[in-house]
Chain A
Amino acid sequence: MRPRKKGTWALLGALVLAGSLGLAACGGDDSGDSDTDGGGDTAAAKGGIYRVGTTDFGFNGGFDPSGEYLGWAWGLYSNLLTRQLTGYRHTEGAAGSEVLPDLAEAIPEATDGGTTWTFKIKKGVKFAPPVNREVTSKDIAYAFERIGTGSVVAQYGFYYNDIVGMAEFKDGKAKTIAGITTPDDSTIVFKTTKPVGDFPFRLAMPATGPFPKEVAGCFTKAGEYGRYLIASGPYMIKGSDALDITSCKTMKPISGFNPTKQLSLVRNPNYDAATDSTERREALPDGFEFIINTNDKDIFDKIEAGEYEDSVDAVPPDVARRYSGDDALKDRLKGNQDDRTNYIYMNLAEAPFDDVNVRKAVNWIMDKDALRKAWGGPFYGEIATHIAPATLYPGSTALDGYDPYATENSAGDLAKAQEAMKASAYDTDKDGVCDADACKDVLFMNRSIDPYVKMTPIIRDALGKIGITVKVRELPTGPAYESSGVIANRIQAGSNAGWGKDYPDASTFMVLFDGRNILPTGNSGYALVGLTAAQAKEFKIDYPKGGVPSVDADIDKCSEEVGNARSDCWAALDKKLMEEVVPWVPYLHVNNTTLLGPAVTKWDYDQFSGEAAYAHVAVDPSKQK
């Protein structure tokens, strides 16, 4: 019953904006070689099977790379299974956020004013058995046809809407995508409708990888291809070679992947390491096994005993406590920055949160330290004091030490909260405690799983001190999320929210405050920043008399900036949100936590997927059980 490391959504890849850092294709930095080695001085060697326990795969797109949007799945594709035109080092920190060529020979400069990208594909990269043929530019072009095919449900297909002809292809007005051409088998040319500086980063996403049409063409419904995935990387799904590809009808799901039990990977005999680099992929173990074990406690017992090497699920606090208190075991416990913010949102269109003073008071009163304790304490992340994690403002120092609601031990401050509340019309007698009806029975959404349920009493207690009583609804993750995204439900506040980066650029957080993105259902910006009176009318909700603040203009301005100025611009918007708009109480920048087994001799963290860098792990089979 532990939460997964990941939310419902993938944390999208770590994409550096081209404009800000430039495309340093291959830096001299060799931090791809792991420094976070789990087993002392043992030299990492080839061989062995790396086994990972998980309570549930949690795929939301059936493991078809065209639609799958789970961060962990992205890690599996790009570390082990498929090769995209571009890729990453699969390591921790800034080095892991740089984009490198993978299937492409090099990352080209864009021509035609930044709208044409011509990629050359490496020779000698072959699909795994039974396809056994060389990967060509047509296999990449076909990936984009899949993205444009509605029934495949490419969940992040919007990243490719700028390609010329994509819209026509989607509407069925064109049989091919006009902006993607393949003059020969090793060349592919992309044309975009406007300059897209970060295009190489978008080509690192798994949906753009090569798909052999002779297999993938049989599976154009959402999620089907996941069980027939043909690899182009160092590993393949066990039993791929037994797939009978004479026709669509003869294909039966590959035996190594049972979505409710296990995913087994073996070496792809057609993989030629000469076409790759050890900086990207070392591919040391002979295979991987990802095993569903619904018992969270058992997973960590098995890791301890050497029966598993690693887990996908977060380390339970009691295990973390035991390991961190033991010098011999400490090194096997890993906590890594996940570029993610967890927050409490307040609905700006609903009383009492239509008053900024109330929202400020909530920020002052909240005991963030206790909320972090509910998650397991400092090992599980840093207390958040602004909207996006500082790592998303590269080159800017504007947010260093920034905490507009600083309180002792981050435990909340009643006096300051009451001072803020006194300025509110909802505190009629100005005693610092809300006494209006609007503060009674505030509808507060939360999830019904640990650690979210452990936050409920803390939030209830804090809000009670300033006169806000809450009616908490605890729902399972899915329904809680879906209810919050339906504006007509008029959820006033909630703590069922967290958001991960799409690129190490704050724009991927600020979309949540863009009033133009507000949707009647499936809405993600729960605070409704930028809601207009017209929208309110359309969604059939009341529009607050004082209006709702908008930051649309700031977003447009920052979107045009580049380099450090861009980071500074976003940072200024972050401050404005925290001090003037106040839609959230951000409380935690969540860590990805991992426990390693005794047989792990090499391990690294993949900043791109926010999970273990499987391309750089190694095991010592003699220590396995």
Chain B
Amino acid sequence: MGRYIIRRLLWTVLVVVLVTLLTFVIFFVMPKGDPALRFAGKSPTPELIQEVKESLGLDKSVPEQYGLFLERLVTGDEYGWPGLGKSFQTKQAVKPELVQRAQVTITLIIGGALLWLAIGIPVGVISALRRGSALDRISMGTALFFVSAPVFWLGLLSLYVFWKKLGWLPGTGYVSFGSDPGAWFSHMILPWMVLALLFAAIYARVVRGNMIDVMTEDYIRTARAKGLSERRIVLKHELRTGITPVITLLAIDLGVLVGGTIVTETVFNLQGLGNWLLVAAQNNDLPVTLAVTVLVAIAVSLFSLIADILYAILDPRVRYQ
């Protein structure tokens, strides 16, 4: 197992290298303007443009810049380790901002995940147990609705209703927990709900499917034949086996969401990683783009590793390859 994990971690490193390399290629090889021009005033002299390039580190050749980027990432820079440089736009160190932004995104993801587990699993379980009933059909229909609804549309719609029309909730944006816990909560409810409803719908469908698969397996039938109480069968066997895949699913989703909440963040004006990446990529802010890219690639790879390990622990049939 140790060797397996090491191999997977090395793979993660390779992914980070490849992904950042691709980012560099897109940034430099594709024909675009020169970001240095934006910081050189409205009548720039070639000398001034050169100065700006030097100050942004854009004066060196592309391979050299990429080498420097990797070197700083590993050995650190004037702002500490890992070396992520400073933003072209704000001239501020990327790292502290990255930490701040990550907090927002993680708040969104964790709150959303708790909510979707709390909704998705019970709904899935009950639907499976009451299979074919009106309750099952209604909950599965609702689930399909939320799987199909575009997140940004649900977001705008909920803002229209709960903020503009009913006035129950404050507007969008992020308020830090430290500054005002109440406002933090009231600002996060809608984003959590909108994110959670989509995933709750997916999870309910998965849990229900798994439960139904398990219920028809031989050992459950045997248990039932042996006269074990229905309550015991459901709790001990069906639930356990039915929910196991959800855990690995959750691990994968959490990883993917680190860079995958762009739309939710945009609609609700949350200044998280996704929103930052969108603005940075649109404005050629290379250091910020790279920093978020690295973080996202690591998150995706690590969480998928965690998912695989959990899967192996929970399901002894799986062997590491």
A and B touch in the complex (CB under 8 A): yes
Taking Cβ atoms with an 8 Å cutoff, the residues of A that contact B are 8-9, 57, 59-62, 69, 150-151, 153, 155-158, 221-224, 226, 259-260, 293-295, 297-298, 301, 448, 476-479, 481-483, 485-486, 489, 511, 517, 519, 521-522, 524
- Which range holds the interface residue count of chain B? 35 or more
Note all chain B residues with C-beta closer than 8 A to A158.
43, 45
In the complex the two chains form, what is the Cα distance from A294 to B91 in whole Å? 19
Whether the Cβ atoms of A155 and B40 lie closer than 8 Å is: yes
Note all chain B residues with C-beta closer than 8 A to A476.
282-283
Whether the Cβ atoms of B41 and A156 lie closer than 8 Å is: yes
Note all chain A residues with C-beta closer than 8 A to B200.
none
Q: Specify which of A69, A260, A511, A517 is in contact with B92 (CB 8 Å cutoff).
A: A260
Q: How far is the CB of B99 from chain A (nearest CB, A)?
A: 12
Taking Cβ atoms with an 8 Å cutoff, the residues of B that contact A are 31-35, 37-49, 51-52, 54-55, 90-92, 97, 100, 170-173, 269, 271, 282-284
Q: How far is the CB of A225 from chain B (nearest CB, A)?
A: 10
Note all chain B residues with C-beta closer than 8 A to A226.
91
Whether the Cβ atoms of A297 and B39 lie closer than 8 Å is: no
Whether the Cβ atoms of B92 and A521 lie closer than 8 Å is: no
Whether the Cβ atoms of B91 and A297 lie closer than 8 Å is: no
Closest to A61 in B: B39
Q: A151-B55, A295-B173, A298-B171 are in contact. Are A69 and B41 (CB under 8 A)?
A: yes
Note all chain B residues with C-beta closer than 8 A to A477.
283
Q: A151-B54, A151-B55, A521-B37 are in contact. Are A478 and B284 (CB under 8 A)?
A: yes
Q: A224-B91, A483-B33 are in contact. Are A301 and B38 (CB under 8 A)?
A: no
Whether the Cβ atoms of B44 and A295 lie closer than 8 Å is: no
In the complex the two chains form, what is the Cα distance from A430 to B298 in whole Å? 64
Q: A259-B92, A476-B282 are in contact. Are A155 and B33 (CB under 8 A)?
A: no
Q: Specify which of B40, B92, B173, B271 is in contact with A522 (CB 8 Å cutoff).
A: B40
In the complex the two chains form, what is the Cα distance from A223 to B55 in whole Å? 10
Q: Specify which of A9, A153, A259, A483 is in contact with B32 (CB 8 Å cutoff).
A: A483
Closest to B32 in A: A479
In the complex the two chains form, what is the Cα distance from A519 to B48 in whole Å? 13
Q: 9 extra interchain contacts, Cβ-Cβ under 8 A, other than A158-B45, A260-B271, A486-B33?
A: A69-B41, A153-B39, A153-B51, A259-B90, A260-B90, A298-B269, A482-B37, A519-B44, A522-B44
Whether the Cβ atoms of B90 and A482 lie closer than 8 Å is: no
Whether the Cβ atoms of A60 and B52 lie closer than 8 Å is: no
Whether the Cβ atoms of B43 and A223 lie closer than 8 Å is: no
Q: How far is the CB of A68 from chain B (nearest CB, A)?
A: 10
Whether the Cβ atoms of A482 and B32 lie closer than 8 Å is: yes
Note all chain A residues with C-beta closer than 8 A to B170.
298
In the complex the two chains form, what is the Cα distance from A524 to B42 in whole Å? 7
Q: How far is the CB of B114 from chain A (nearest CB, A)?
A: 25
Whether the Cβ atoms of B33 and A478 lie closer than 8 Å is: yes
Q: How far is the CB of A13 from chain B (nearest CB, A)?
A: 14
In the complex the two chains form, what is the Cα distance from A113 to B269 in whole Å? 59
Whether the Cβ atoms of A59 and B90 lie closer than 8 Å is: yes
Whether the Cβ atoms of A9 and B41 lie closer than 8 Å is: yes
Note all chain B residues with C-beta closer than 8 A to A8.
38
Note all chain A residues with C-beta closer than 8 A to B47.
150
Q: How far is the CB of A346 from chain B (nearest CB, A)?
A: 20
In the complex the two chains form, what is the Cα distance from A511 to B42 in whole Å? 11
Q: Specify which of A297, A479, A519 is in contact with B283 (CB 8 Å cutoff).
A: A479
Whether the Cβ atoms of A295 and B92 lie closer than 8 Å is: no
Note all chain B residues with C-beta closer than 8 A to A297.
171-172
Note all chain A residues with C-beta closer than 8 A to B41.
9, 69, 155-156
Q: How far is the CB of B187 from chain A (nearest CB, A)?
A: 10
Whether the Cβ atoms of B271 and A155 lie closer than 8 Å is: no
In the complex the two chains form, what is the Cα distance from A294 to B97 in whole Å? 15
Closest to B174 in A: A294
